[in-house]
Structure 1
Amino acid sequence: MRRIPSVKRSVRFPVSATLLRRLALASIIANVGIVVTGGAVRLTASGLGCPTWPRCTDDSYVPTDEMGVHGVIEFGNRTLTFAVGIIAFATLLAVLAHRPRRRGVLPLAVAVFFGIPAQAVVGGLTVLTNLNPWVVGLHFLASMAVIAAAYALWRRTAEPDGPAVTAVPAPLRALARLTTAVSVAVLVIGTWVTGSGPHAGDQGAARNGLDPESISQVHADSVFLLLGLSVAMVFAFRAVGAGRAARAALLLVAVELGQGLIGFVQYFTHLPAVLVGAHMLGSCLVLLATLHVQWSTRERLPASATTAPAPERDAVPSVPTPA
């Protein structure tokens, strides 16, 4: 009898680069979405709608009729965590099945997948600590870390697997890293502002004790610094002919201006819930735009490239040395 040759599972169930990239993009969108829905929990005072964790009550994993709409909102946000986790798991499986596998993709997929339950545990601690504002802030920042990893995964799935080369001079790469650090500082200080404000997630939740007006001024100052650095990058990248990086920096400036406008309006209108929710979404977009700039300062060559490619429009021009 003729023997049928075995077929490897990776060949039998191939995963295209397009599918992998779409799953990675879906993971970004899902993690941004869970930040927005988490904000809705706090802004509707539903933070203790399920008063314990991991159960919703001491006797039930789901909300009871007596808990009302707040229990439904809090439980709904917890349920969405499973949906986000499923997308991350599907992305991880796709990374394992895709061939050829690019370097660095698997660790990023693992980080995103395990970052989601870690973020959920921090969310559980917010409930167990009666919405301690410092823990609530950590919960938000944990989501930002997962979004950053998901973005890196998405970008890496579309890159060649060759060596990375710089697209801008070293001082401008340092400027981009400094801007990224300031962007992260803006996010951290923003959680302090939130912890001092009126939207505690529950009427009985404590505040962090910081003066809202003073910490809001610190936050505004950090935003102005971030905006100034971003504008400087636009002109600096253009000066060296790095058009791709300049366009990324210009996009960051546009996102910052929109986010700043929302921030000023919500401050002078006494923090309406709708604008606070929009500001949380804007924080995610600022982070993504910042990472986009960071990524634009270098590029990867094809793995088969043995020599440097010819200079392109976005390449850094050479500077003649004096005789």
Structure 2
Amino acid sequence: MPDTMIPATSTTQGVPPRSSSWVRALKVFAWLSFISETIIIGTGGAVRLTGSGLGCSDWPLCTPDSLVPILEVQGIHGIIEFGNRLMTGVVGIIALAVVLLVLYLFSGKRGLVNALWFALGGIVAAVAAFAIATPLHFPASPIALAVLLVAVIAAAVRSVRTTPTRRDLVLLAWLTLIGVVAQALVGGITVLTGLNPFIVGFHYTSSLLLVCITAAFLVRLKTSPGPRERAVPAWFAAVTHVTGLALAVTIVFGVLTTGSGPHSGDADVLRHGFDATVLAHVHSWPGYILAALVLFLTVSAWVLRLEPRRWLLVLVLAILVQVGVGIWQAREGLPPLLVGIHMVLASLSAATYTVVVLRLKRPVPVDA
């Protein structure tokens, strides 16, 4: 029985209609991508907060002789670290599924086949790089993964340039997959450098950005393509972007504060030398400014009945919870569970802010 055809919607407008099952699959995998990117922040936080950062002492293997942890040797720390590595694979598979579905819907079979050829070429090139680097005693695995990353970027550039419509969705899907591959490389470097605190912080921040990208994909998936116009006053848009700056500064100082505190990922890892007590206060200052700005935007949006008012309400609640958890964890001596909740909430707050920014504009009416 042939697939049921669907009319053009905000998702499929501008391309030949595809089967409704493929569109539903894209929506499901898009949500799974967002959820998995959020979960991996939690699992990555668990690795760091339980001191399991070097539970697997090697990479990409867990030990020089074993892919999986040996319970008698690594214990629970090895299981936690290996579980996070497995979660990276899950995130990557879901991101790849989103890319393939987007290409099939908006580039057709030709675009999908071209991407698969790039993937095959990237795998062959990565294997060749590994084979060449190994006898030369170069870091073969990072080099091979870097070659694969370059191939993914090349495939993304070609796909975005050749896709006839909805390039925004194609770009966001590829950015997520590129980010996952890059994160795998950064994760390996993190282990090989003995949990360098700056690389660990960069690893978390990059994961947070991927949560924002997957959130943006979900928003754009429900938005009609074409020109867009500002849906809010200019001053409101300006204050919103200033709020984004305050959010970014708050997150950066939060990462530095965590890296200076007791949760470095392993008991023997040196921190980066900053005073955690001082940084905790510095981290709170932009946090309070952020809360005030978000509250101001929320009240203004509801008074003026602006488009992003409901998402601003979600954001102000998320920020207030963040402030409460931050104060609580500071008074309790940074218990791991509260720190982990704080990390996940930061990513969700950033994702919500991303939705708010995307709601600042709306599609230009067709008659215009």
Instruction: Calculate the TM-score normalised by the size of structure 1.
Output: 0.87
Matches within 5 A, 1:283-322: 283-301=346-364, 305-307=366-368
Please give the secondary structure, in 1, of the residue aligned with 2:344: helix
Contact 1:14/1:97 (CA < 8 Å) preserved in 2? no
Secondary structure (helix, strand or coil) at the match of 1:165 reads strand
CA shift, 1:15, in A, is 5.2
**1:70 alignment partner, one of 71, 77, 80:** 77
Question: Does 2:255 correspond to 1:199?
Answer: no
Does the 8 A contact of 1:161 with 1:301 survive in 2? Answer: no
What is the CA-CA distance between 1:284 and the residue it aligns to?
Answer: 1.2
Give runs of aligned pairs for residues 8-87 of structure 1, distance below 5 A.
16-65=22-71, 66-87=73-94
Q: Contact 2:216–2:355 (CA<8 Å) still a contact in 1?
A: no
Secondary structure of the 1:104 match is helix
Q: 2: CA distance between counterparts of 1:221 and 1:11?
A: 51
Match of 1:249 in 2: 312
Q: Where does residue 320 of structure 1 map in the other structure?
A: none
Residue 230 (structure 1) shift: 0.6
The separation in 2 between residues aligned to 1:71 and 1:238, in whole angstroms, is 50
Q: Do residues 272 (structure 1) and 278 (structure 2) align? A: no
Given residue 341 of structure 2, which amino acid in structure 1 is its aligned partner?
A
Pairwise mapping of residues 69-108 of structure 1 onto structure 2 (< 5 A)?
A: 69-99=76-106, 101-108=165-172
Pair 1:297–1:11, CA change in 2 (3 A): closer
AA of the residue aligned to 2:342:
H
Q: 2:254 aligns with which of 175, 179, 190?
A: 190
Q: Is the 8 A contact 1:180 1:290 kept in 2?
A: yes
Name the SS for the 1:149 alignment partner. helix
Asked if structure 2 preserves the Cα contact closer than 8 Å seen for 1:179 and 1:229, the reply is yes
Residue identity opposite 1:281 in structure 2: V
Where does residue 5 of structure 1 map in the other structure?
A: none
1:69-107 Cα deviation digits (max 9, x unpaired) = 111111111011010001001111110112485231101
Q: CA deviation at 1:21?
A: 2.2
Q: Tell me, in whole angstroms, the C-alpha distance in 1 between the residues paired with 2:293 and 2:17.
A: 48
Shift of 1:301: 4.2
User: Shift of the alpha carbon at 1:42?
Assistant: 0.9
Unaligned runs of 5+ in 1: 1-9, 308-323
- Please tell me the residue identity of whatever aligns with 1:287: A
Query: What amino acid does structure 2 have at the position aligned with 1:210?
Result: F
Alignment of 1:103-182 (within 5 A): 103-182=167-246
4+ aligned runs moved over 6 Å, structure 1: 10-14
Change (3 A) 1:247 1:11: closer
2: CA distance, partners of 1:266 / 1:241 = 36
TM-score (norm. length: structure 2): 0.76
Q: Contact 1:160–1:301 at 8 Å: present in 2 too?
A: no
SS in 2 for 1:206: coil
Cα deviation for residue 147 of structure 1 reads 1.4
- The count of corresponding residues between Structure 1 and Structure 2 is 295
The aligned residue for residue 318 of structure 1 is: none
Which residue in 2 is equivalent to 1:6?
Answer: none
Distance in 1 between residues matched to 2:31 and 2:218, nearest whole Å: 6
CA contact (8 A) 1:42 1:200 kept: yes
Q: What SS does the corresponding residue of 2:167 show, helix, strand or coil?
A: coil
Identical aligned residues as a percent: 38
The alpha-carbon distance between structure 1 residues 184 and 15, as it changes in their structure 2 partners (threshold 3 A), is farther
Between the aligned partners of 1:52 and 1:91, the Cα distance in structure 2 is 31
SS at match of 1:299: strand
- Which AA in structure 1 matches 2:308? A
Q: Is the partner of 1:210 in helix, strand or coil?
A: coil
Task: Give the residue type in structure 2 aligned to 1:86.
Answer: I
Which residue number in structure 1 is paired with residue 124 of structure 2? none
SS at match of 1:203: coil
Partner of 1:235: 299
Indicate if the aligned counterparts of 2:18 and 2:105 stay in contact, CA closer than 8 A: no
Q: Distance in 2 between matches of 1:60 and 1:49?
A: 13
**Structure 2 CA distance, aligned partners of 1:84 and 1:246?**
31
When residues 151 and 12 of structure 1 are mapped into structure 2, their CA distance, relative to the original with a 3 A threshold, is closer
Distance 1:43 1:200 in 2: 7
In structure 1, what is the Cα distance between the partners aligned to 2:31 and 2:361? 21
Per-residue deviation at 1:14?
6.5
Partner of 2:131: none
Root-mean-square deviation (Å): 1.8
CA contact (8 A) 1:20 1:157 kept: no
Corresponding position of 2:8: none
Deviation at 1:18, TM superposition (A): 3.2
The more displaced of 126-135 and 30-39 is 126-135
